[in-house]
Amino acid sequence: MPNPYIPMLTKVKNIVSENKVNDIKTIELEFKNQEDYKAFNYIPGQFAEISLIGKGECPIGIASSPTEEGSIKFTIKKMGTVTSEFHNCEVGDTVGVRGPCGNGWPMEDLKGKNLVVIGGGFAFSTLRSLVLYVLDEKYRKDFGDITVIYGNRDSGEVLYGDVLEEWEKRDDINVVLTIDREEEDWTREVGFVAAIVKKVAPSPDNAVAVVCGPPIMIRTAVAELEQLGWKDYQILNSLEMRMKCGIGKCGRCNIGNKYVCVDGPVFSLEELKKLPNEY
């Protein structure tokens, strides 16, 4: 077995600034070694430990879908030391990648189900991966109705404008975009995500809801789903925790006896309720 702390090397292929304030960027990476790329077998919802070697490493959810071949993408918000360094990087720079890490969205269990994807703000990256995956012509038939509810503070914060536009054009997905307050030229919904969930009122029958966003959004949106008759096992979350190794060794991301990096980051509400409230 090789040293699990050694990253595979990739090159930055493209950098896209995702929002108006320019503190969220999507970085596209190409593996230097094709063998590594083949070995990087991931599903939506997984993350990777990515590093600018010499500056440090951090865990970031994979924003690309396995169906987007040739490269992988990470959407990075400028927050701490390493993410700030990522915002300074340029096309051609070397980036270390270890992974894929974590369990990811349970794609097998989702088959045959209606999907309700609820996202808020920056936490949409692994939802982008999920939706692109289920919309792929190879897999679309495996899933029922697909509803996406995606909320942001304002229109300048909406990520992935290009793919959202594509989705809105299709008739096999219902995309509901919302922002917190009225804005000129905004023709979609206005209001908090929870309110829009109430309005859209997705049916829990044979359905799974995938919820990602800031804690307050998750709490309020989940409360609405519960009102609509959704059960805990039908609601999936992806958790964030401070991590170093990403492979269940460094210790810090535990919630009770579970390690978010390997047992998560995806947990159903039912599973979360069994864990101590320490996250």
Partner 1 sequence: MDQKILMKNEIGKLYIELAEEYNFYAPVKEKGNIVFKKILNPDDIVLEYFNSKVPPKEVLFPEMEVLFEYSLDGKDVEIQDRQDLDEKNVIFGIRPCDAHGFALMATFFTAHGDCEDEIFMKKRANTILMGIGCNEPKSTCFCTSLGGHPFQKDDLDVMLTDLGEKYLVETISEKGKTFIQKLKWLADAKKKDVQQAQELSKKSEESFVTKLDLTDIDKILDPNFEHPIWKEISDICISCGTCSYLCPTCTCFDVIDETDEYNNRGRRIRIWDTCQSCLYTLHTSGHNPRNSCIERCRNRIMHKFSYYPKNYDQIGCVGCGRCVQLCPVNNDIRAILTKIKNIEKEEEISA
Partner 2 sequence: MGIEIKNQEIENQMRELARNLLNEKKVDVIIGYAKGTVPLSSAPIMITNEEDIDKLIWNNLCYINLAKYLVPRIPQLIDPEGNNLKVGIVSKGCVGRALIHLAVEKQINLDDIKIIGIPCNGIINRKKVEKEIDEKEILEVSASGNDIVVKGKDFEQKFPFDEYINELCKVCKVKSPPTDASISEACVGECQEISNLEDDFADLAEFEAKSSKEKWDYIKDLLKTCTRCYACREACPMCYCNLCFVDQNKPIWFGKTTELSDIIVFHLIRAMHLAGRCVACGACSSVCPMGIDLNLITRKLEKMVKERFDFTSGIDSETLPPMMSFNMDDEQEFMLEED
Question: Residues interacting with partner 1, by CB under 8 A?
Answer: 1-7, 9, 11, 51, 53-57, 79-80, 83, 90, 92-94, 96, 101, 240-242, 244-245, 247-252, 254-257, 259, 261-263, 276, 278-279
> Scanning residues 72 to 91, which ones bind partner 2 (CB under 8 A)?
80-81, 84
Q: How far is the CB of 273 from partner 2 (least distance, A)?
A: 26
- The nearest distance, CB 89 to partner 1, in angstroms, is 9
CB of 85 to partner 2, least distance (A): 11
Which of partner 2, partner 1, none lies near 137, with the C-beta cut-off 5 to 8 A by kind? none
Pick one of partner 2, partner 1, none as the site partner of residue 112 (Cβ within 5 to 8 A by kind).
none
Shortest spacing between CB 218 and partner 1, in angstroms: 13
- Tell me whether residue 57 or residue 157 sits nearer to partner 1 (CB atom): 57
Q: With binding defined as CB under 8 A, does residue 54 bind partner 2?
A: no
* Number of residues located near partner 2, criterion CB under 8 A: 3
Least separation in angstroms between residue 125's CB and partner 2 is 23
Give me the DSSP letters along the chain: ---TTPPEEEEEEEEEE-STTS-EEEEEEEESSHHHHHH----TT-EEEEEETTTEEEEEEB-S-TTSTT-EEEEEE--SHHHHHHHH--TT-EEEEEEEES----HHHHTTSEEEEEEEGGGGHHHHHHHHHHHSTTTGGGS--EEEEEEESSGGG---HHHHHHHHH-SS-EEEEEESS--TT--SEES-HHHHHHHH----TTEEEEEES-HHHHHHHHHHHHHTT--GGGEEEE-----SSSSS-S-TTEETTEEHHHH-SEEEHHHHHHS-S--
Query: Which residues form the interface with partner 2 (CB under 8 A)?
Result: 80-81, 84
